[in-house]
Structure 1
């Protein structure tokens, strides 16, 4: 059908255009589960050279974000937008991780992995970049 719409000799009728519009709208509005959407995690150095670390859920960090209290820096990581933290903000995030760890000892493995990553970024005076779906 798409080939017929773009046929310069024949053109397309309004029904064919409407069918394509409905098809595209259906694809764009198809329901997706939150867990199907991913946040990619990158670390950047001072000159913004970016290194991919993996997906937040595959690294197990999504459980940390679910436990973050409203108003904390961690709670502002958005699943559909980019979020970047600098070294100063990451110092605060280390304290937030301590709070989450105190209340959720069962997540200590994931929290410690995240702490290691945060400390590496701070040591290199870089940035932690979350790229939402």
Structure 2
């Protein structure tokens, strides 16, 4: 299930929606990001929300990625973040539902 991302206004009303590709390339970038990176905060199995201040850093980190890693998903998310910043809003990432594996004892 691909990551779903919403742009929300100050009242958390959803203004736009996008999603990552089915290969999970954006989540792979996030999981490979260095400690302390805002990208590293995006959680595959939980929800993540960035405010306007965090989004400035998020966009900067996306723009610092090597050109070969700035695929269509990264460009869409940068545009969504810019829209959220201009709207003084939020970017809300909806993670995959966590389904624990059954263990046989």
Gaps of 5+ in 1: 1-36
The residue correspondences of 1:98-109 to structure 2 (distance < 5 A) are 98-100=63-65, 104-109=66-71
8 Å Cα contact 1:43/1:128 also seen in 2: yes
Aligned partner of 2:5 in structure 1 is 41
Structure 2: how far apart are the matches of 1:129 and 1:53? 9
Q: Which has the higher contact order (CA 8 A, sep 6+)?
A: 2
Per-residue deviation, 1:115: 1.8
Distance in 2 between the 1:122 and 1:44 partners?
A: 10
Evaluate the alpha carbon distance shift between residue 67 and residue 87 of structure 1 in structure 2; reply closer, same or farther with a 3 A threshold: same
For residues 122 and 109 of structure 1, the distance between their equivalents in structure 2, rounded to whole angstroms, comes to: 21
Superposed counterparts of 1:44-123, under 5 Å: 44-51=8-15, 53-58=17-22, 61-62=26-27, 64-100=29-65, 104-110=66-72, 111-123=74-86
State how far apart, in whole Å, the 1-side matches of 2:48 and 2:6 are. 10
Distance 1:57 1:70, change over 3 A: farther
TM-score using structure 2 length: 0.73
Q: For residues 76 and 59 of structure 2, what CA distance do their matches in structure 1 show?
A: 12
- What are the ranges of 5 or more consecutive residues in structure 2 without an aligned counterpart? 97-105
Answer 1 or 2: which has greater helix percent: 1
Higher-Rg structure is 1
TM score, norm. by length of structure 1: 0.59
